[in-house]
Amino acid sequence: MTIRVIGLGQRWAGDDGVGLLVLDELERQPPPGVELHRVSDAAALVELVQGAQRVVIVDAAVGAGAPGTVRTLEAKALADGEIAPVSTHGIAVGQALELARVLAGGDLAPASIVAVAIEPPRGYVTELTPAVRAAIPRAVRAVLDLTRSSAMHESALARSVLDAVLDLARKNGATRVRRVVGQLSETEHLHAESIQFHFTAHAVGTPAEAARLELDLVHVPARCRACAETYPPEHHVTLCPRCGSTDAELLGAVGLRIDSLDVE
């Protein structure tokens, strides 16, 4: 599986170059199985995001919080206007990803964005502001979390889905599974393409080898019992971003529900 981490930015634009500096740090001890790329223009993403199983883009962003805030978002957040990556890059990141998706016929690797919040850049500056420079280690950890744990977690989830499907197929005397319909609820953001990829890899040589997954992927949020803040407990971390309490409850059930199997 190819994982590409892409740092986007321009070193002469001050804080806008933070994505490149995060890549500099990652290059000191490159994550295994990860390709590192630096680009100055979002147009370069169109080609780079194709042919990968997972993509992580590191970029500066206006509207992601106070300067130095690090957020991990899915590409959909760009389409929804939740944040605005700084567009000194020609075309916007969201536009580049959408163009890549069209060119790939809709079959594109899931993309995550590690966004470092900045103020709009002003003029030629080569140094980062203190708050943004201090965010580099946190952005590095966010990238490593995505590249190390997400693939392993989604692979394990896909294996558990396959086990449940094969067990149900056996009980019903089926020799081939064509389609699986159901719901998979988790505390982490899941990617349908990645779950399908791992499911297909695990299913080789089984009755579900050619099965198509149609799973409704549900992200279950947490609510802090101390301050009532609702937040996404990424990687099962239940630390409230508002008050720091670890006393939280999940606002929904976690697990797999199979509604139907199309079998022979």
Counted domains in the chain? 2
Which residues sit opposite 54 in a β-bridge? Answer: 3
CATH number of the domain within which 34 lies: 3.40.50.1450
Q: Are residues 83 and 18 in the same domain?
A: yes
Q: What is the pLDDT of residue 85?
A: 52
CATH number of the domain within which 253 lies: 3.30.2320.50
Q: What is the pLDDT of residue 234?
A: 56
Q: Are residues 180 and 129 in the same domain?
A: no
Look at residue 16 and tell me whether its pLDDT is greater than 70: yes
Q: Are residues 118 and 233 in the same domain?
A: no
Q: What is the pLDDT of residue 28?
A: 86
Q: Are residues 177 and 129 in the same domain?
A: no
Q: What is the pLDDT of residue 105?
A: 60
Q: Tell me if 146 is assigned to some domain.
A: no
Domain that holds residue 157: 153-263
Q: Are residues 28 and 82 in the same domain?
A: yes
Which residues neighbour 158 within 8 Å (Cβ) at sequence distance 6 or greater? 195, 196, 197, 198, 199, 201, 202
Of 74, 105, 134, which residue constitutes the final position of a domain? 134
Of 134, 162, 196, which residue constitutes the final position of a domain? 134
Cα separation, 118 vs 78, in Å, equals: 16
Look at residue 235 and tell me whether its pLDDT is greater than 80: no
Q: Convert the pLDDT of each residue in 17-37 to its tens digit.
A: 899 999 999 988 777 778 899
Q: Convert the pLDDT of each residue in 141-167 to its tens digit.
A: 888 888 876 667 788 899 999 999 999
Nearest Cα to Cα of residue 119 among 127, 129, 110, 133: 129
Could you tell me which residue, 162 or 77, shows the higher pLDDT? 162
Q: Are residues 86 and 174 in the same domain?
A: no
Cα separation, 107 vs 99, in Å, equals: 12
Q: Are residues 88 and 116 in the same domain?
A: yes
Q: Tell me if 145 is assigned to some domain.
A: no
DSSP conformation class of 160: H
Q: Are residues 122 and 21 in the same domain?
A: yes
Of 134, 163, 194, which residue constitutes the final position of a domain? 134
